[in-house]
Structure 1
Amino acid sequence: MEYTGTRRVQKFGRSTLMVSLPADWVKKVGLKPGDNVAIEVLDDGSIKVKPLTYETKKLRKTIYIRISKLTSEELVSRMLYAAYVIGFDTVTIEVIDGYLTEPQLKTLRRMARSLIGVEIVGQSPNKLTLQFFVDPTKYSLPGLIGRMCNLIKSMLQHLVLGIAEKQHFFSEVLELETELDRVYTLSVRQLVLASQDTSLAKAIGITTSLVTAYRAIAKSLEDAGDALSAAAFELNNLSEEQLTKLDQAIDYLKESSEMLITITDRLMRALIERDLILANKILNALREFDNYIRRYHLLLFKSYGLDETYLIIRSILEKMSWAATSIESAAEVLFDISFAFRSPEIDLEKLGAETII
């Protein structure tokens, strides 16, 4: 039920101002004389009033999904993912015309393992109940984004080690990408919940007005992980002889990786500090990285022509460029956030404008 209208501000005593509460709302939430309420000042200057009993007694969100034994496991997977991201606490999936099939069960168990905080809490031949044990106040958004940045840095390190050492490092990149997806999905859940609750948004380190911006950053980092995972998958399928041919390019690949690691590290710091100048430096560094890759492409072609070694190295560099482009998208949004944080007055000289190229 929505309550709209106006109330006259009245004076109570010498200096206290008072506004009456809507009677229907008071009745709905069970407010009584003498009860305490929580008052929160929002970003737009308005206030939110919540009874403390209502504040601490959050209703659990439960969804029941009825499917057929013929329902594809892909659809089951998408529905469970959506329930997690939207912010449900409990999901019950029931087959109405038989029993859960083996592919459906395998999919649900795989999904439970791939989502942070998800456990199967009830099961019968035709029904499965999953509960999401995620306390949203325990996961700050900057912390989750920072975790994604650290995973990308680790993926880059393992990628170069795999080329140099010819060991298990490519497989580890794929494992790290799986963890990156888990953190990304949790960050989306956090953002959806924060968009509905300003107090939660504040608790996890953002404002509701920045939910869309932070989701764009998280998605860009997830895309960067996909690019590095694609490179690792390709390298993992090369023969030892083909990998050995890459030794002659290991210095260039290592330098490319180190450049992206430095950029990602700066991105993480700029996000925490909302540093406008550092965000600008990141964008400049990414432009330099793009120029570096272009020059190296030309050098490779002059050295090897269109032989197999050139084609393999070019493919890996293209995927690193894909990762860099994704990181650039995140950096552009971060620049906007930092700009908004500094407004309405920005003194570039005080911020170190002399360092801006």
Structure 2
Amino acid sequence: MEARKVYVSGGSTYVISLPKKWVKKTNLKPGDSLMVTEHGSSLLIGTSAIEKESQTKEIKISQITSSEALERILIAFYLVGYDTIKIKVDRKDHLAYREIIRNIMDYLIGVEIVEDTNEAMTLEIMLDYKRMSTMQILQRMFSIDRSMLLDLGKALKNMDIGLAKDIIAREKEIDRLYFLVVRQLKSAVEYQQIAEKLGIKSQRDCLGYRIVVKVLERIADHIENIAKSYIRLFEIQKEAQLDEFIDITKDIVATFEKSVQALFTRNGEMAEIVFYELKKVEKSHSDISKRLFEIEDIQSAILEKTMLDSFGRIASYSGDIAEVAINMSTEVS
């Protein structure tokens, strides 16, 4: 950080000098325009280029230990913001690597294969920040999570295994949206102009959104876990009495809805109500937990305990969202 004196030019224009090192780094020349953005009591000065420069990464599969490692690397490059990823196919056992590259499009939004030859494959990430704001995607994730929870209650009530399997299938879309939001937030932290395009009012909100998107992804994971455990439970005990699980599902849905509404409206008072309602969920959780000790079949008890633990985690995540809502409703003066 450097201190700069303010000078008056022409009696009414206030002027400061720019750091020479920064001018050289950005290749700024006399006559160029700069973007000046007000940010509370601060000013953000940047070059006039609204879009960040396209970033390209080149990798060789001969330098990667396995096809699974390639998958993790490609996801990492997507998240940090690369726009083009060139993969050199320079080893004989390349088929598994090619399969990973093709499958990556199933859970990374905006990724397309633009080159596929004997020697190389190239991925291009084609995303328009204006068309998919961060808040819109978070709302979409909430909508999917909510529908999964509601249908979970229906599946338990009606002993509908088909619906339970459909719930499991929906979890993949949450993963796709999760990766997209993380990529957006990384760019928004670095580029104020991109943050504005994504509908993020303040870059400091990115930390809160990063917590929320992870919470929404984890909620979907736990709903999937409950559905899988229920399917296994149904196979060994088709007439399992799950009325208490159905009731706690309703309470968790209501608490989840309120926490997300508090976040989207930045309503700290509503967020406080969430913590009060969570006490009711905790009481139900405790009552069910005690009943599980009465189940004679050990495998059934274990599966119901697994389901109950996931319900507890979902409720806890609603509290995490409420905490973020309180933090974001408090403006820094």
Q: Any conservation in 1 of the 2:255–2:315 contact (CA below 8 Å)?
A: no
State the AA in 1 paired with 2:316.
T
- 2:120 counterpart of 1:124: no
**SS of 1:115's equivalent?**
coil
- 2:321 counterpart of 1:330: yes
Q: Counterpart of 1:46?
A: 42
Give the 3 Å change call, closer, same or farther, for CA 24–71 of structure 1 in structure 2. closer
- 2:188 counterpart of 1:197: no
Q: Any conservation in 1 of the 2:108–2:176 contact (CA below 8 Å)?
A: yes
Q: Distance in 1 between matches of 2:30 and 2:269?
A: 52
**SS of 2:239's equivalent?**
helix
- 2:50 counterpart of 1:55: yes
Give the 3 Å change call, closer, same or farther, for CA 55–315 of structure 1 in structure 2. closer
**SS of 2:204's equivalent?**
helix
Q: Distance in 2 between matches of 1:298 and 1:177?
A: 30
Q: Distance in 2 between matches of 1:307 and 1:26?
A: 70
Q: Counterpart of 1:11?
A: 8
Give the 3 Å change call, closer, same or farther, for CA 308–23 of structure 1 in structure 2. closer
- 2:276 counterpart of 1:279: no
Q: Any conservation in 2 of the 1:91–1:129 contact (CA below 8 Å)?
A: yes
| 1:168-196 alpha-carbon deviations (Å, 9 max, x no partner) | 11221112111111111111111111110
Q: Distance in 1 between matches of 2:42 and 2:115?
A: 43
Q: Counterpart of 2:65?
A: 71
Q: Any conservation in 1 of the 2:50–2:193 contact (CA below 8 Å)?
A: no
Aligned pairs for 1:1-357 (under 5 A) are: 6-22=3-19, 28-33=26-31, 35-43=32-40, 45-52=41-48, 54-56=49-51, 58-68=52-62, 71-96=65-90, 98-99=91-92, 101-163=94-156, 164-204=158-198, 205-240=200-235, 242=237, 244-246=238-240, 248-249=241-242, 251-299=243-291, 301=293, 304-305=295-296, 309-338=300-329, 340-341=330-331
Q: Distance in 2 between matches of 1:109 and 1:221?
A: 27
Q: Distance in 2 between matches of 1:112 and 1:100?
A: 21
Q: Distance in 2 between matches of 1:70 and 1:55?
A: 35
Give the 3 Å change call, closer, same or farther, for CA 210–314 of structure 1 in structure 2. same
Q: CA RMSD in A?
A: 2.6
Q: Any conservation in 2 of the 1:145–1:268 contact (CA below 8 Å)?
A: no
**SS of 2:58's equivalent?**
strand
4+ runs deviating over 6 angstroms? none
Q: Any conservation in 1 of the 2:263–2:321 contact (CA below 8 Å)?
A: no
Aligned residues between the structures: 330
Q: Any conservation in 2 of the 1:99–1:126 contact (CA below 8 Å)?
A: no
- Give 1:276 deviation, angstroms: 0.6
- Give 1:93 deviation, angstroms: 1.1
Q: Distance in 2 between matches of 1:180 and 1:70?
A: 28
**SS of 1:68's equivalent?**
helix
Q: Distance in 1 between matches of 2:77 and 2:64?
A: 21
Give the 3 Å change call, closer, same or farther, for CA 70–314 of structure 1 in structure 2. closer
Which is worse superposed, 280-289 or 81-90? 280-289
Q: Please report the TM-score for the alignment, with normalisation by the length of structure 2.
A: 0.88
- Give 1:21 deviation, angstroms: 4.0
Structure 2: segments with no counterpart, 5+ residues: none
Q: Any conservation in 2 of the 1:286–1:324 contact (CA below 8 Å)?
A: yes
**SS of 2:113's equivalent?**
strand
Q: Counterpart of 1:353?
A: none
Q: Please report the TM-score for the alignment, with normalisation by the length of structure 1.
A: 0.83
